[in-house]
Structure 1
Amino acid sequence: MRKRLYVVVAMAAVIAALTVAAVGGAGGAPQSTILTGAAEVPGPGDPDGAGTASLRLNPGQGEICYELTVSNIAPATAAHIHIGGPTVAGPVVVGLMPPTSGSSSGCASAPRDLVRDILRDPAGFYVNVHNAAFPAGAVRGQLSRP
């Protein structure tokens, strides 16, 4: 009876380890944020603009996969992850495909150290979507801990 219990426990541990490895390899740690024009610095961004950014950070692969959605803005011309706190307009650290038709998704290569930095201090980074009417940024969302 004890031998069966050990086998069941060992099998459960192996399945759990494989599940964790599969999830980590399929996209990494999640991050998401709400995008608004009011969050733009220096503002204002598009007062009617809204959106979401969902990221999966995988430092082992040096990759950031993302889904962006925006609404009530003119067609997007650029989208990025920037370094900077909520009151800072910081430099671009990762380029993303702009959601020209309202949404975009993909995966971007990034230095592993940068991906680890975003995981360690997400509030020090933000997602920004730009367009012709608001070249400095139509909508923005600060990352935060899940």
Structure 2
Amino acid sequence: MRTTPARRPVGRSLATTTALLAGGGLLALGSALPASATSVDEPDSFTSAFTAELTPGAVVDADGEATGGDPDGSGTMELRINSDDEVVCYDITTQDVEPPYESPARTATHVHEAPQGRPGPPRLAFPNPEGEGSTRTSSGCLQGPFTTGIEGDDGEDTGASFSLAEIEADPAAFFGDTHTASAVPGAVRGQLVQVPVGGADTGAGGVADDGAPTAALVGGAGLVAAGAVGAVLLRRRAVAQQG
């Protein structure tokens, strides 16, 4: 396992940061790209891929106590990483998670560094899912350096000096989530799980030699099957056609 230097959340202590994520008095934010993360085209190849099943039952507050999140919400976060170029491509879908989004970070949809059942600071901030009806989506690619808008006493952002290779080294130490005004500690959350890398056109799933999508185990929740991979493909193609 790769050893990385310990970092303190920037402008605020870790305790204060997690308390802000769990408390009130926060600014409701839209889906603007985080500053200092550049929107880029999807690369030709990836070094790793990850998925997270986002559920309300996984959400905890600053003390590590379960909050229940948004009881009607669910979602998925699919990440494809090229750690050589510090590029992360994301496909995030939420179901029955209602805005407004709310977080002290620049956006309310993140990858945080913390194991299951524990709070932790955000390392990546993504545009919030948007759309009509109960299903909302967010897709694209970002290239570091990454910032989150959360600063600590050392003057650095919680994304400063963060490398995507840290996720590759220990994916279980990171989780995805999104925060809303009615569920500020988190509406839905899920730990990252590594899945096969299938290339730029296969979403989060792999492709076997015969062209059939492979299934990847997602914690204890079940399998990411061919249908999930197809949904990612269709979503990304639809976005490309609209652009």
Normalised-by-shorter TM-score class:
0.7 to 0.9
Q: What's the TM-score, normalizing by structure 1? A: 0.77
Q: d(CA) in 1 for partners of 2:73 and 2:137? A: 13
2:75 is matched with which residue? Answer: 51
1:137 is matched with which residue? Answer: 186
Instruction: Report the CA distance between 1:143 and its aligned residue.
Output: 0.6
> Which moves more between the two structures, 105-114 or 31-40?
105-114
Contact (CA 8 Å) 1:55, 1:66: kept in 2 or not?
A: yes
Q: 1:66 aligns with which of 90, 96, 105?
A: 90
Gaps of 5+ in 2: 1-42, 62-66, 102-107, 146-160, 196-243
2:56 is matched with which residue? Answer: 37
Q: d(CA) in 2 for partners of 1:100 and 1:57? A: 23
1:92 is matched with which residue? Answer: 122
Instruction: Report the CA distance between 1:124 and its aligned residue.
Output: 0.2
Instruction: Report the CA distance between 1:90 and its aligned residue.
Output: 0.5
One-letter identity of the residue aligned with 1:39: A
Instruction: Report the CA distance between 1:109 and its aligned residue.
Output: 2.5
Q: What's the TM-score, normalizing by structure 2? A: 0.48
Q: 2:99 aligns with which of 62, 66, 75?
A: 75
Deviations along 1:89-142, one digit per CA (max 9) or x if unpaired, are 100101101103200111223358621110110000000111111122100010
Against the structure 1 CA distance between its residues 113 and 93, is the aligned structure 2 distance closer, same or farther, given a 3 Å change threshold?
Answer: closer
Q: d(CA) in 1 for partners of 2:179 and 2:162? A: 26
1:107 is matched with which residue? Answer: 141
Q: What is the aligned residue count?
A: 124
One-letter identity of the residue aligned with 1:79: T
What's the % identity of the aligned pairs? 35
Instruction: Report the CA distance between 1:32 and its aligned residue.
Output: 0.6
Larger Rg: 1
> Which moves more between the two structures, 24-33 or 100-109?
24-33
Q: 3-state DSSP class of the match of 1:135?
A: strand
